[in-house]
């Protein structure tokens, strides 16, 4: 029977010749990811599993302390310590501060995630890796603990929604704008329990970095996973990261989709998601006068070198607005180093931005840029829920690195095309 990419990958990992939407399967996982906040709960649950002494395969378990690290306070330091001890005791893959990065920037960069895999992570943005033609999805800590023990996860096969982007990007439009545009139309539960399969000319022209940005935010429409076909760009990216083998799956031409949605790239301009939902989007031409206190450029959504290049291109030779604090957070140590070699860090510092070590930090309301009451932040992150980045009355506006950099210069929401 005809199947979608998602169905084929799930079937292969469940040892079945075919699966159907709604079917519950036990699937073998290729990699189990946890950060320090999901790991700390998972370690406790793992200790309660009767008969579980060792993890199923230490090479398929990766633990990355990235949320509140470098440790923001004593409580966070205790969490990181306990997680580190578990990782060392069980010989799992582990990336310490100095070698770590934001998990969803680091794993593709390190070649740990590859086409055809099934990966679960104790972090909702694990869906990022679908950009590489695989099934990746977020789960909770108990799921992580059980996957550590058994190497398996129970999953309900999702129906697939096909989302086609017709035509080519307009100037200053990026993958971030395309995914915000989609979420604005679908709503924050428009793809609930479903897979989203992206296709069309608008997708084909995107860099792998932009595809990772888009896949990162499918959870913001409620989706289980987002998936992109593997093409020459994907293969080039993966081969540069690893010499490990991978499997390419393609959707059958007559595969069944729950629905097909078509967007026209001509209708898409840079987008801003207003508080307090990622779906509350407006095109940049209609944002009005919104003054801004802080700009954050980074995160698992937009913390890649391509993102920093775009921001630096706009900030080069200029100073940010005197009332604005601009925080740049490279996603990994490699991104940081590349940014240094390319002179981007100097551009940022000359522009009077601050450059942070890799961390999730402010995105999750942890540290490195928490907002006071009433403050407004434009952020390249993925969520703008109430209180997400600080005080309950603060506001987050989600946008691309280009819109964020333009806003840092103007001190108010700004169109990079109008600078």
- Contacting positions for other proteins (CB under 8 A): 24, 37-38, 40-41, 44-45, 48-52, 67-68, 73, 75-76, 79, 121-124, 126, 138-143, 145-146, 149-150, 154, 156, 188-189, 192-193, 222, 224, 277, 364-366, 383, 385-388, 392
Q: Name the minimum Å distance from CB 340 to other proteins.
A: 30
Residue 363 or 409: the one with the smaller Cβ distance to other proteins is: 363
Residue 220 or 415: the one with the smaller Cβ distance to other proteins is: 220
Q: Name the minimum Å distance from CB 406 to other proteins.
A: 27
Backbone dihedral region for residue 343 (phi beyond 0: left; psi -120 to 50: alpha; all else: beta)? left
Q: Name the minimum Å distance from CB 147 to other proteins.
A: 9
Q: Name the minimum Å distance from CB 109 to other proteins.
A: 22
Query: How far from 134 is each of 77, 107, 243, 314, CA to CA, in Å?
Result: 34, 13, 17, 34
Q: Give me the torsion for CA of 213, 215, 220, 224, rounded to 10°.
A: -160
Residue 143 or 210: the one with the smaller Cβ distance to other proteins is: 143
Q: Name the minimum Å distance from CB 385 to other proteins.
A: 4
Query: How far from 333 is each of 239, 269, 329, 418, CA to CA, in Å?
Result: 20, 32, 10, 33
Distance from the Cα of residue 268 to its chain's centroid: 21
Residue 110 or 142: the one with the smaller Cβ distance to other proteins is: 142
87: Cβ–Cβ under 8 A, 6 or more apart, which residues?
39, 63, 94
Confirm if 13 and 19 have CB atoms less than 8 A apart.
Answer: no
Which of 177, 199, 381, 398 is CA-nearest to residue 269?
177
Confirm if 296 and 329 have CB atoms less than 8 A apart.
Answer: yes
Residue 45 or 415: the one with the smaller Cβ distance to other proteins is: 45
Residue 77 or 229: the one with the smaller Cβ distance to other proteins is: 77
Helix (H) or strand (E) holding 103: helix 103-109
Distance CA 180, CA 174 (A): 10
Q: Name the minimum Å distance from CB 408 to other proteins.
A: 24
Q: Name the minimum Å distance from CB 399 to other proteins.
A: 19
Residue 27 or 335: the one with the smaller Cβ distance to other proteins is: 27
Token code pair at residue 415: 């169109």
């Amino acid at each position: 029977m005809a199947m979608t990419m998602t169905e084929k990958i799930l079937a292969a990992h469940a040892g079945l010749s075919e699966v159907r939407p709604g079917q519950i399967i036990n699937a073998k996982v290729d990699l189990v990811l946890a950060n320090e906040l999901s790991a700390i709960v998972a370690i406790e649950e793992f200790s309660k599993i009767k008969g579980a002494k060792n993890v199923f395969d230490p090479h398929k378990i990766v633990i990355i302390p990235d949320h509140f690290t470098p440790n923001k306070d004593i409580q966070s330091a205790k969490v990181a310590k306990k997680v580190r001890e578990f990782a060392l005791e069980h010989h799992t893959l582990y990336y310490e501060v100095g070698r770590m990065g934001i998990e969803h920037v680091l794993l593709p960069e390190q070649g740990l995630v590859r086409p055809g895999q099934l990966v679960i992570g104790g972090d909702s943005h694990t869906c990022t890796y679908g950009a590489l033609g695989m099934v990746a999805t977020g789960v909770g800590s108990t799921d992580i603990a059980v996957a550590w023990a058994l190497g398996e996860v129970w999953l309900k096969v999702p129906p697939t929604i096909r989302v086609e982007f017709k035509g080519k990007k307009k100037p200053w439009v990026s993958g971030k704008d395309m995914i915000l545009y989609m979420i604005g139309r679908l709503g924050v539960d428009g793809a609930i329990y479903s897979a989203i399969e992206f296709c069309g000319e608008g997708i084909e022209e995107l860099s792998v970095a932009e595809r990772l940005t888009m896949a990162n935010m499918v959870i913001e429409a409620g989706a289980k996973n987002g998936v992109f076909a593997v093409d020459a760009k994907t293969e080039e990216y993966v081969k540069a990261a690893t010499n490990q083998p991978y499997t390419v799956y393609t959707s059958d031409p007559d595969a069944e989709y729950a629905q097909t949605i078509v967007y026209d790239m001509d209708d898409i301009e840079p987008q801003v998601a207003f508080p307090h939902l990622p779906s509350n989007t407006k095109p940049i031409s209609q944002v009005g006068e919104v003054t801004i206190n802080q700009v954050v450029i980074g995160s698992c959504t937009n913390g890649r070198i391509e993102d920093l290049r775009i921001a630096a291109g706009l900030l080069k030779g200029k100073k940010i607005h005197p009332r604005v604090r601009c925080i740049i957070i490279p996603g990994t140590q490699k991104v940081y180093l590349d940014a240094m070699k390319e002179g981007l860090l100097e551009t940022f510092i000359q522009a009077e931005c601050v450059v942070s070590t890799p961390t999730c930090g402010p995105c999750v309301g942890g540290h490195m840029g928490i907002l006071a009451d009433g403050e407004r932040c434009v952020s390249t992150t993925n969520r703008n829920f109430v209180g997400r980045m600080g005080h309950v009355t603060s506001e987050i506006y989600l946008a691309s690195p280009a819109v964020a950099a333009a806003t840092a210069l103007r001190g108010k929401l700004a169109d990079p095309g109008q600078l």
